[in-house]
Structure 1
Amino acid sequence: MTEWKEFKVHINGEATEAVSNILIELGSAGVSVVDRKDFLSLPEYGFDTLWALDEKAFPDDGVVIKGYFYGDDASKETELALIENIESLKSFDLDIENYEVTTEDVVEEEWANAWKKYYHPVSITRYMTIVPQWEEYSKNHEEEKIIYLDPGLAFGTGTHPTTKLCLQALESSLRGGETVLDVGTGSGVLTIASALLGASKIQAFDLDDVAVKSAYDNIQLNDLNTEISVQANDLLKGIDVQADMIVANILAEIILLLIPDAFKNLKPGGKFLSSGIISEKKEEILLSLKDNGFEIEQINQMGDWVAILAIKPAED
């Protein structure tokens, strides 16, 4: 039986997105996040819950981020590189003074099937449900939109608060026919949602080629006819598009770098939806948005996470 190595990082929840990206960039074939808030929270509209829960599996504080490596990727050098990259996050002013990295051997045949029992359809809103590709699911009503994902691709199942906030904001903002830019697309869940909500042209970007493939595969899984392109790119550098909406669910410090280009690439009256913002960083993001010419339309919060919907003022 094939053996993999599981790398576990027990760390402050503020670093979830950053550490997940580090694991992927080091070659992880999958990433999962164990967060006590998932145990304590139910989806807003009920139906099915994400976890068949065992409270003992959830940390009392922080989160446990797991990455899975095979063969040469599962080396001591990988572990050292992981620690080095986590240490570098301190330059972003993240609270990660106390963290722990451990490893464990995992047998593929057991892992590949056992974890699926914990992932079921999740209703993000009354009109939007995320369904793993192997699950049979029938709509609860005609207007319900279904996003099929392969979470084995490991760039997010769409159930983290930062993603939920984005999906809810997209549902209330898109009316059909829009041009959307998805920056840091990951699994492609926000791209897929934008297409299902009627956006007619979508460009998705991610710095990592593995993420680009993940997004592309999930887009194909949903058999979308919308004009969608997915490519590797560093935020919006070199991109010259006049969009109706730009969405970015990434680290707050990276959003700060993105804000000027987001303003430049929006039509007058266009909207910039940013998420992945820990509550302590909210005021810094709001200040930068205003300094760059944005008006704040909406601020939404779920637990410690914040999403901000800003608008580029219409021309007089």
Structure 2
Amino acid sequence: MKWSEFCIHTTNEAIEPISNILHESGASGVVIEDPQDMMKGQTDLGEIYELNPEDYPEEGVYVKAYLPMNSFLGETIEGIKQSINNLHEFGIDVGRNVVTLSEVQEEDWATAWKKYYKPVKISERITIMPTWEDYTPVSSDEIIIEMDPGMAFGTGTHPTTVLSIQALEQYLQKDDLVLDVGTGSGILSVASVLLGASHVHAFDLDDIAVKSTMINAELNGVENQVSAKLNNLLEGVEQEADLIVSNILAEIIVRFTDDAFKVVKPGGYFITCGIISGKKEMVLERLKSSGFDIVETNKMEDWISIIARKPESR
């Protein structure tokens, strides 16, 4: 089968919404080529990349999707372009927004993309490992999360995932009940259980995300402690939680801070990420107005995580 590679030159801020548009349009793979990955080299956490600088833009990022070449391809591409243009209405900067198309043979795509995904140590205790790689733990307390990136992957681990897991490692307590809002691949759900959570309820509007969460939970032997279902944020959720984690766009986070405050227990935490630096104050103000105290904020590249806490007395 022949595939069409759809490449959009955009911004870091637009990566996740554009990836969602591509998934919903039937993309059978998404690659994110970010020039900042070229500068990481070997970090304090042990990341090593072997990447070609010629594959990367001088500024912004490339988001590439793979679409089957069929009679509907033209209509699909036009629909994708329109949806990306509509992101301006949500205040999302899509940057250059330049689209290019090229033809790819299935056998080339099916194997070549794996060069982008290697084992990576993202925190003091956690290493993420793709299913096809061999990896030997370097310490007895190291936690290995085995992941199949399936239909979404990038050049290493995205800063929002790293920030989220580092926060979970610090604030999640043994036997906590966790809500993962906008679960995506399910990596935060899996990490929560491996860090000691008794159970995680994972929610997403994308059926692919729900299925991916359970696949990755099973890969890591935690499928009995993770429940994933289709749901719009915390709408209709009454389950009390010790901790809520949400790695989604700032514009989405501010829509459910009141609901998060209702369901998290007094003294419980709300970990939010997916926040571009320019949207930090908007999210902080919304969290405070819902009743949360701000515990700390952290930054990696241009991304922010916020850890908020529900006061004991309310």
Q: Which position in structure 2 is the counterpart of 1:33?
A: 32
- CA distance, structure 2, for counterparts of residue 42 and residue 312 of structure 1: 39
Unmatched tracts of structure 1, length 5 or more: none
Aligned pairs for 1:1-316 within 5 A = 2-42=1-41, 44-49=43-48, 51-72=49-70, 75-96=73-94, 98-154=96-152, 159-224=157-222, 226-315=224-313
The root-mean-square deviation of aligned C-alpha atoms, in Å, is 1.7
- CA distance, structure 2, for counterparts of residue 84 and residue 73 of structure 1: 19
- Cα 1:303–1:156 change in 2 (3 A) is same
State, as a whole percentage, how many aligned pairs show the same letter: 47
Task: Report the Cα offset of residue 209 of structure 1.
Answer: 0.5
- Cα 1:204–1:156 change in 2 (3 A) is farther
- CA distance, structure 1, for counterparts of residue 121 and residue 288 of structure 2: 33
Q: How many residues align?
A: 314
SS state at 1:151 partner = coil
Task: Report the Cα offset of residue 156 of structure 1.
Answer: 6.5
2:32/2:154 contact within 8 Å kept: no
1:158/1:189 contact within 8 Å kept: no
- CA distance, structure 2, for counterparts of residue 62 and residue 219 of structure 1: 33
Q: 1:241-280 CA distances to partner (integer Å, 9 max, x unpaired)?
A: 1101111111110011121111111011111111010000
- CA distance, structure 1, for counterparts of residue 77 and residue 19 of structure 2: 14
Task: Report the Cα offset of residue 148 of structure 1.
Answer: 0.6
- CA distance, structure 2, for counterparts of residue 194 and residue 209 of structure 1: 21
Unmatched tracts of structure 2, length 5 or more: none
Aligned letter for 2:30?
Answer: V
2:33/2:155 contact within 8 Å kept: no
- Cα 1:135–1:287 change in 2 (3 A) is same
> Which TM-score applies when normalising by structure 2?
0.95
Aligned letter for 1:31?
Answer: V
SS state at 2:3 partner = strand
1:181/1:204 contact within 8 Å kept: yes
Task: Report the Cα offset of residue 10 of structure 1.
Answer: 0.7
Q: 1:48-70 CA distances to partner (integer Å, 9 max, x unpaired)?
A: 42x31111111111111111122
1:46/1:123 contact within 8 Å kept: yes
**Larger deviation: 180-189 or 158-167?**
158-167
> Which TM-score applies when normalising by structure 1?
0.95
